[in-house]
Structure 1
Amino acid sequence: MANLSGADIRSLARMLADAFTADEIASLVYESTGDRLYDEFVPDNLPLRPMLEKLLDALQKKGVLRLFLAAAHRDTEKNRPDVATEIVRVCPEAAGETAKSDAAIEVQEAGKTQVDGPARAAAPGFERNVRPNLPQLDVHVWLSRLEIIERQVCRVEISGNAAGTGFLVGPDVVLTNWHVVEAAKNAGRMGDVICRFDYLKLVNGTRQPGIAVALAQEGCVSYRTYSAAEKTKTPDVPEPSSNELDYALLRLERAVGSGDNVGPRGWIKLPVAEMPMKKGDPLIIVQHPDGAPMKLALDTEAIIAVNESRTRVRYATNTEAGSSGSPCFTLDWELIALHHFGDPTWVQPLYNQGVPAQLVRMKIVEDGLAALIGE
């Protein structure tokens, strides 16, 4: 292929930044070239678009830009035809490029083929990125983010009994499921609801009781119900509408997100747009399963599917009763969904299910409460 001009690189970087996250771009580089050029050439401290410009320039200098663009074209051909068209415009060869295959190597000893040798291998080098959708993580950065989230997730209790999980999405508001507080709300008993932060099991085996925070007088300030089908054995017939999101936004009596006796906690930002959710992507849930001290469940091949109306996402990450209302994250701690439901099949359940987080944000904003979530 001919070298791309600076204008082409800038145009392409802009469209790729709109279609992919940084992790997805890194995975595409691994998938298409087998090398870690993303980590080698892209600095950590730049926004995504200038990072992509540098990456495209580096791949071009290495002579592997065509392979990368072919992989990006395959990923965008169905869901982002505008991006796929731009790729073909700057690199027509990308449309016909097949997936990169490993080099075939015949293992011999003294000139004789070894029958038990590997049929295929990649050379040179001893390492390969076997699962491109699993990026390597910066340990300190990842753990630091977990420590922050640990202080933002809470156990929701009603009359002293564990009822579900919730998490701060603003200085004084907690998001959980509507079905967690439905009975209390309908009975006029929201005063019996508290959010308990920092309920943890410590390394010495004891339990830290945490801090109980009551609700403000208004209690539940925004909610949407679940679908009627989700109380049956066929929860997706019909599929939930964009207004059936099973969420409740609870107002706390004080702004613990901005600070309390243990310092500011901050809050988890609700995404404006739908986060990428590809089949087989990992998913993390921070939760209080069965009312237990906070736990983390991680599945590295979790995402099963998003429904046709894009109002639910299913995944394999484990939960239990009491996990309702938990935040679901990407491997890089980006909020994807509000967990709310499990496969109603008692024997060999196949999935758990969440509500895409950007839909919840949309309804909170529609209710005139954008200021509560830091907008």
Structure 2
Amino acid sequence: MTGYLSPDEVRRVLDAAVETGLADPAVRPLLFDGIMPRYRGTLPLHPAPGRQVHSDLNEMNRVERLVDGSVPLEIWLRNAVAETTEAGPLTVLQRALDEVARAAGGEPDVPGGLPLPGEIKEEIIHRDDTVPIGFLRGGALAGAAVARIKVPPYEGGAPLQPNGFPHSGTGWLIAPDLLITNHHVVNARAGTGAGRPMAGPEDLRLQARRSTARFDFDADADDTETVEAAVAELVAADPALDYAVLRLADRPGRPALKLAERPLTVTGDSYVAVNIIQHPGGRSKRVALRNNLVYQADEHDVRYFTDTRGGSSGSPVCTDDWKVVALHRGTRRVENVLFQGRTTAFVNVGTQMRSVLRHLEATIPGVHAEIQQAQATP
């Protein structure tokens, strides 16, 4: 690995950090909050504040991930964004964070060139956005089917060396013992774009069998009671649609999420809110509720504005009745798009679940029938 950021990108982050005061030695502990202390202790120390930040960035840029699966540069950038209020440096730091989070998660690049609206009409912002109280109960039930996944990378049948630490993602029950996530989550390789590294077929299956799914991971506290589920096998996968279906060794004893009966569609004058249950950064479960307008959908993809991070890959994209319409797979950053007063917004992309089901029906009809039977069960 040559680094998450190019030397020029590192220099831009350094300049932004110096400009906004993050080079102050008193701020350094805040920037390293959440990074393993043992790793922090290995970083060289320098008397000059600017040189210290540059050294820290270069050292972290060379580390794919630590033994706990975390990416130190991603955590540092997230902390830097939280400490920054000035627009110019904030844009630089946020863009770097997006790039590192996407590469660390192995998310493939989402094709660009999308026809984006120049603005969101006022009536969309000021519509009646209330929902029935049952919306909250439904969300709690749906969340029980969502798990944090850890996938260890292998190469040639052995743990990948160096930096063979686990990759994190999100998955959810599509049947009592079938968990669905992204192909790139199970692939467990850092990098983006068409040339991103790919695990061989045998290594991919081995990585799946060595994966674990952690249900009920709803808080970061050490005493949080969770359910760990081992994976028995990889039963289906497709890198183009970016999905993978894993069979768990034992049923975790909770209802599977229900799928929407038809693909999501939107028109130019109507927008749909979606809700995403996720494990960003491999941490405890979070939910992005309703402030996630879908602005475009076609036969294969749903595109929406929301908040996700590396580790959110594989999350269910749900409508207000908590039925899944898409499998979240990646993020594209766009410029000069107004969304609720912001001039820059994220475009997230999920694969329509109808496309996944059609692919399963054509390639692995037995798995498709199993899912359909589970979906028909009340």
- The TM-score normalised by the length of structure 2 is 0.52
Larger Rg: 1
Match of 1:280 among 266, 271, 279: 271
Q: 1:326 to 1:302 in 2, by over 3 A?
A: same
Show the counterpart of 2:175.
170
Query: Contact 2:177/2:250 (CA < 8 Å) preserved in 1?
Result: yes
Show the counterpart of 1:214.
230
Query: Contact 1:164/1:323 (CA < 8 Å) preserved in 2?
Result: yes
Q: Is it true that 1:200 corresponds to 2:218 in the alignment?
A: yes
Query: Contact 1:338/1:356 (CA < 8 Å) preserved in 2?
Result: yes
Show the counterpart of 1:161.
166
TM-fit CA distance, 1:374: 4.3
SS of aligned partner of 1:164: strand
Q: 1:273 to 1:281 in 2, by over 3 A?
A: closer
Show the counterpart of 2:321.
332
SS of aligned partner of 2:330: strand
Show the counterpart of 2:18.
none
For 1:28-62, what per-residue CA distance to the aligned partner results, in whole angstroms no more than 9, with x for missing partners? xxxxxxxxxxxxxxxxxxxxxxxxxxxxxxxxxxx
Query: Contact 2:266/2:295 (CA < 8 Å) preserved in 1?
Result: no
SS of aligned partner of 1:343: strand
Q: 1:333 to 1:208 in 2, by over 3 A?
A: same
SS of aligned partner of 1:320: coil
Query: Contact 1:198/1:211 (CA < 8 Å) preserved in 2?
Result: yes
Show the counterpart of 1:373.
371
For 1:302-338, what per-residue CA distance to the aligned partner results, in whole angstroms no more than 9, with x for missing partners? 112124xx21111111100000000011122121111
Show the counterpart of 1:290.
281
Q: 1:154 to 1:338 in 2, by over 3 A?
A: same
- The TM-score normalised by the length of structure 1 is 0.52
Can you give the 5+ residue segments of structure 1 that lack an aligned partner in the other structure?
1-128, 227-244, 260-264
TM-fit CA distance, 1:207: 5.5
The amino acid of 1:318's aligned partner reads: D
Alpha-carbon distance in 2 for matches of 1:147, 1:270: 17
Tell me the C-alpha RMSD between the 2 structures: 2.6
Show the counterpart of 1:22.
none
SS of aligned partner of 1:189: helix
Show the counterpart of 2:142.
149
Equivalent residues in 2 for 1:218-297 (5 A)?
Answer: 219-226=233-240, 245-256=241-252, 259=253, 265-278=254-267, 279-297=270-288
Equivalent residues in 2 for 1:41-190 (5 A)?
Answer: 130-131=126-127, 134=129, 136-139=130-133, 141-159=134-152, 161-183=166-188, 186=201, 187=203, 188-190=206-208
Work out the percentage of aligned pairs sharing the same amino acid: 30
Show the counterpart of 2:349.
353
Show the counterpart of 1:10.
none
Query: Contact 1:176/1:325 (CA < 8 Å) preserved in 2?
Result: yes
Q: Which has the higher contact order (CA 8 A, sep 6+)?
A: 2
Aligned length: 213
For 1:184-219, what per-residue CA distance to the aligned partner results, in whole angstroms no more than 9, with x for missing partners? 6742332221111111117xx656251111111xx1
Q: 1:191 to 1:334 in 2, by over 3 A?
A: closer
Can you give the 5+ residue segments of structure 2 that lack an aligned partner in the other structure?
1-124, 153-164, 189-198, 337-343, 374-378
Q: 1:174 to 1:194 in 2, by over 3 A?
A: same
Alpha-carbon distance in 2 for matches of 1:301, 1:223: 28
SS of aligned partner of 1:350: strand
Q: 1:154 to 1:328 in 2, by over 3 A?
A: same
SS of aligned partner of 1:190: helix
Q: 1:301 to 1:166 in 2, by over 3 A?
A: closer
Query: Contact 2:237/2:243 (CA < 8 Å) preserved in 1?
Result: yes
The amino acid of 2:224's aligned partner reads: Q
Query: Contact 2:333/2:346 (CA < 8 Å) preserved in 1?
Result: no
Alpha-carbon distance in 2 for matches of 1:346, 1:166: 30
